[in-house]
Amino acid sequence: MPTLPTQRNLSPGTPGRNNSSLSKPRRLSLRLALGSITEVDASALVVGHFKGVAPRSAELAVDQAIGSVINDFENRRMISGNLGEIFFIPTHRTRLYASTVILAGLGNFSNFTTDSLRLVGMNLIKGLVSTKIYDFGMVLMGSNAGNLSVEDATRTLINGIYEGLQNYDPDGRIQEMTLVEINEEKYRKIREVLLNFLKSDFLTQKLDISFSEYTLTGIQAEPAKEKISPLNIVIRTEGIKLIFSALGESATLRKERTISPKIIEGIRKKLEDSYGKPQAEEIQKAHGKLLFDQVVPEDIQKVILACKGRPIALSLDSYAASIPWELMYTDHPDCPGFLGLNFPIGRQLMIDAPVTKWLARRKIKGKLDFLLIGDPTADLPGAAEEARILSRFLSSLKGVQVTTQIGPKDNEAEEVLAKLGSGTYDIVHYAGHAYFDRRDPSESAWIFKDGGRVRARDLVNLSSLPALIFSNACEAGVVEKIYHTDKYGVAEALLRAGLINYIGTFWQINDSPGAFFAGKFYEKLLQERTIGESLVEARKDMIRKFGYKELNWGSYMLYGNPMFRFK
């Protein structure tokens, strides 16, 4: 347990008191503390949470103190992170003083402004009063990833909190807050801004603030364990422009690029046509570099190249998802090569995905259950052989249970659909026919014997899904370029149904290389690699085995969390 903070440099008097006012201003004790937020003695600790972003900085330190609950909730999409939403987590039997951790939703980091922070401050007070929490500690939100200056963030936060006090706490029950900062340089900036702000007539007419400073001493918080956080990049389309927002360690970079959809489609076609050609490597590198330069602004390129080996989480709208990011190429000396060979990449579609329906059975049972579906139409001998090879390999491993279904007899569409949503399996691997219906994406499907289909519109209603579905079939990862509320392909349908991880393909795949790739992927995955790392290593193994002419290596893409592990 931490010890109580020690007081230092308590400012005399109460800067900000307005003695000439007939109506006494609202009292507030404002403490500025130097140290870790995990050491603050308060009823609640407040940290900000950006939508779709794993915990980092102060949020990560708090999360580690409470057993990584926040990270788990984020992986399961149980925390929306929508702007202004307040999420409460009890902290019983943890090393914190606080009995509650409060996540303040900051929305999308690409859209965070002073207006966003003001709303967060107001809603925070409303949430505190509603739950009868009258003292709290928090960090200054928005001055790092939100890209606000320390001065703007400090002023906006205090004003938002004041408006919340006026609107939601007229009886004056909340009288104490602690603002904490672990970085000494930033602490001094916040202190300077606060002292100047407290002298302003604007504030003294509103609040009677008692200001003090503290240093958090004694048994210090364990520093947040080193954790590689992904580089988060949001890409959305506005007409013929792509709008980029990249969340680095300390700031958000926003850039835009005017594109030619016709040129991008031409590059895609050239990449696809490199299949089987002796000069495939040269074609892929030349057009991968052209794609990188045509699509990605130079400043965003620099951010990406500076993060070699670090996972990249791409949040994409429907058009941006149609771009083969994994096949972009750079010849920069610090990070030469294809992005899909240098970075574990995970995609997320900009859709209102529900809470994940993965049951985490592996944590309870201590083993992985596979369902292998091979050649359900009886016309793909390579797919049947793929299922047999994978079955033999996986069955030889400890802690793995495999159910193998090959051919039409064992694979009726209705039975497969039921198994997908049964909650029985951790990983489902499909090797068979699939197609993407560009006229009506909701009709996109896995194909079975005698016209049987598992359609996108059927998949969206499933529950109790596996943690990963690997669809080793042609076009199994394609999404519609134009957003529809009721039309979507197989990949999007499963994500809308609550699937946490999906691996599909851009283009046609060949049987033998496809089976090889899947085997290498599972081999790495069961060696406790992340999904993203396993895909990178499988791509490299694929090139070593078959060369660049088998573009299968670059056709696979992950929709999900590149940092997800099974063991």
Q: Which one is predicted more confidently, 209 or 482?
A: 209
Q: Can you give the residue ranges of every domain in the chain?
A: 6-215, 231-349, 361-559
3-state secondary structure 132-162: CCCEEEEECCCCCCCCCCHHHHHHHHHHHHH
Tell me how far apart the alpha carbons of residues 385 and 355 are, in angstroms, rounded to a whole number. Answer: 36
Domain topology for 361-559: Rossmann fold (3.40.50)
The SS3 call for residue 20 is coil
What does the alpha-carbon distance between residue 269 and residue 299 come to, in Å, rounded to a whole number?
27
Global model pTM greater than 0.75: yes
Q: What pLDDT is attached to residue 379?
A: 86
* Residue-level length of the chain: 567
What band does 18 get if pLDDT is binned at 50, 70 and 90?
very low
38, 62 contact by CB (below 8 A): yes
pLDDT at 438: 79
Could you tell me if 316 and 347 are in contact, meaning their C-beta atoms sit under 8 angstroms apart? yes
Give yes or no for residue 114 having a pLDDT over 50: yes
What is the pLDDT averaged over residues 373-383?
Answer: 89
Q: Where are the beta strands (DSSP E) in 196-249?
A: 207-215, 231-238, 241-247
User: What is the tens place of the pLDDT at every residue in 470-515?
Assistant: 998 754 444 545 433 445 678 888 888 888 899 988 877 776 788 8
Q: Residue 347 forms beta bridges with which residues?
A: 314, 559
Instruction: Taking residues 288-313, report their average pLDDT.
Output: 93
pLDDT of residue 425: 92
Q: List Cβ neighbours of 158 (8 Å cut-off, separation of 6 or more).
A: 121, 197, 203
Evaluate whether 6-215 and 361-559 have a shared fold. Answer: no
Is the per-residue pLDDT at 94 higher than 80? no
Examine the pLDDT at 299 and tell me if it is beyond 80: yes
CB 216 within 8 A of CB 41: no
Q: What is the mean pLDDT of residues 516-527?
A: 91
Nearest CA to 73 out of 53, 91, 96, 58 is that of: 53
The superfamily (CATH) of domain 6-215 is Leucine Aminopeptidase, subunit E, domain 1 (3.40.220.10)
- State percent of the chain over pLDDT 70: 86
Position 145 confidence tier, pLDDT thresholds 50, 70, 90: low
- Tokens representing residue 276 in the block: 């089987």
DSSP 441-510: GGG-EEE-GGG-EEEHHHHTT--S--SEEEE-STTTT---SS--SS---HHHHHHHHT-S-EEEESS---
Gap between the Cα atoms of 103 and 84, Å rounded: 10
Bridge-based pairing of strands 453-455 and 445-447 is antiparallel
Q: Which of 128-142, 239-253, 311-325, 457-471 has the lowest mean pLDDT?
A: 239-253
